Amino acid sequence: MTQLFNSNPEGLNSENFISFATKVCGYPSFLAPTLFEKLAGDETKARLFDLLKGQGSNYVTREDWMKHLRFLLDTHPGLDFLKGTPEFQDRYLECVVERIFYVNNRAENDKMTQLDFVKSNLVKVLKYVDEEPDINKVLDYFSYEHFYVLYCKFWELDNDHDFLLDRDDLVKLSNYALTYRIVDRIFSGACKPLSSGTPDKLGYQDFIWLLLSEEDKHSETAIRYWFRGIDLDGDGYITPHEMEYFYKEQLHRMDCLAQEVVQFEDILCQMTDMVKPAREGYISMLDLKRCKQPGVFFNVLFNLTKFIQYDQKDPGQIFNERATPELTDWDRYAKIEYAR
């Protein structure tokens, strides 16, 4: 190994790396390119992480991201139109940073670790942002259209424009789609501790997490968000008792809207068959992550509109999903809402 590196003082390239992979690591030669790409990629991520984090810190904070990404506003051609509106620049940056933390900060705090960063797609996305003049093509984190949808939805609900939402504001989301019981859990901080700093109020950042979780219930973050909301006793399992607690309000809504009422016993059987929990009568977060339709499970319990759409198997929605497999549920939602 010493001889190999001595003969290549500037480091190994993809060609001479084959000797290292076969003789030192014991890998077959045809896997050497894969190993080289993996190691080179992790090194790039580690260096970028060190660049982003504050001096003496072991993690990257929201403030770190805001500081570095502010230069993007001055240089990216797709964001030139924002230069005359500093307030919108700030809101856009807040949205980008919050989306980055939503996807990549599994501890859900203000501390993005190196492991978070290395496991993420951030290096790839940042490079794409640098190369792509149309910011709206960068669907991960940076799309201005996605920000605009999030901001406008928040602004529409915030009647007094104090940049805070109360329960009466939030229940109006998507034409009263969410039940009062799940809204109460959101405001209690069960789904995620609120960051607004004002008791019983949702701030802009809180709303970003809520709407992303509401419109794409397949993401890991959304599953964690809603699981905590349904898990009333916080024991790490959703039981039939907890499911029935939330479903009772759905039953009342069905009756008021003259919809065909589906009794809880039938729903419980259907959901159990769909989720297939490892332990009968106890649905874990892992069970829902393994399940192919976690969104259906949650919608049955607290979003009647989406429950009915699923039950009626809207052919337009099915066609749209099959025609755009590369898009997430959030991507599709944002595209439709921006075009309104």
Profile the chain (340 residues) by mean pLDDT over runs of 10 residues: 55 62 68 60 81 92 96 94 92 98 95 93 95 98 98 96 96 96 98 95 98 97 98 98 98 90 95 97 97 96 92 72 87 94
In angstroms, the CA 301 to CA 340 distance is 28
In angstroms, the CA 210 to CA 191 distance is 9
In angstroms, the CA 329 to CA 276 distance is 23
Q: Left if phi > 0, otherwise alpha if psi is -120 to 50, otherwise beta: which for 261? A: beta
**Is 242 within the bounds of a domain?**
yes
Same domain for 35 and 92: yes
Confirm if 302 and 250 have CB atoms less than 8 A apart.
yes
Last residue of a domain, one of 98, 125, 146: 146
3 state SS of 238: strand
pTM for this one?
0.87
**Is 154 within the bounds of a domain?**
no
In angstroms, the CA 314 to CA 194 distance is 35
User: Which pLDDT score is estimated for 45?
Assistant: 86
User: Which pLDDT score is estimated for 167?
Assistant: 97
User: Which pLDDT score is estimated for 200?
Assistant: 94
Confirm if 271 and 300 have CB atoms less than 8 A apart.
yes
User: Which pLDDT score is estimated for 213?
Assistant: 98
In angstroms, the CA 109 to CA 130 distance is 27
In angstroms, the CA 262 to CA 212 distance is 28
For 225, the enclosing helix (H) or strand (E) is helix 220-230
Same domain for 249 and 175: yes
Instruction: Please report, as a single letter, which amino acid is at residue 193.
Output: P
Long-range CB pairs of 8-16, under 8 A, 24+ apart, other chains included: 12/36
Same domain for 252 and 130: no
Same domain for 186 and 221: yes
In angstroms, the CA 168 to CA 154 distance is 13
User: Which pLDDT score is estimated for 53?
Assistant: 92
* Total domains, the chain: 2
CATH code for position 323: 1.10.238.10
**Is 328 within the bounds of a domain?**
yes
**Is 152 within the bounds of a domain?**
no
Same domain for 140 and 13: yes
Same domain for 333 and 216: yes
User: Which pLDDT score is estimated for 34?
Assistant: 66
Same domain for 213 and 300: yes
DSSP, residue by residue, 300-330 = HHHBHHHHHHHHTT-HHHHHHHHH-TTS-HH
User: Which pLDDT score is estimated for 37?
Assistant: 62
User: Which pLDDT score is estimated for 309?
Assistant: 86
At a CB cut-off of 8 Å and minimum separation 6, what does 176 contact? none
Q: Domain limits at 18?
A: 2-146
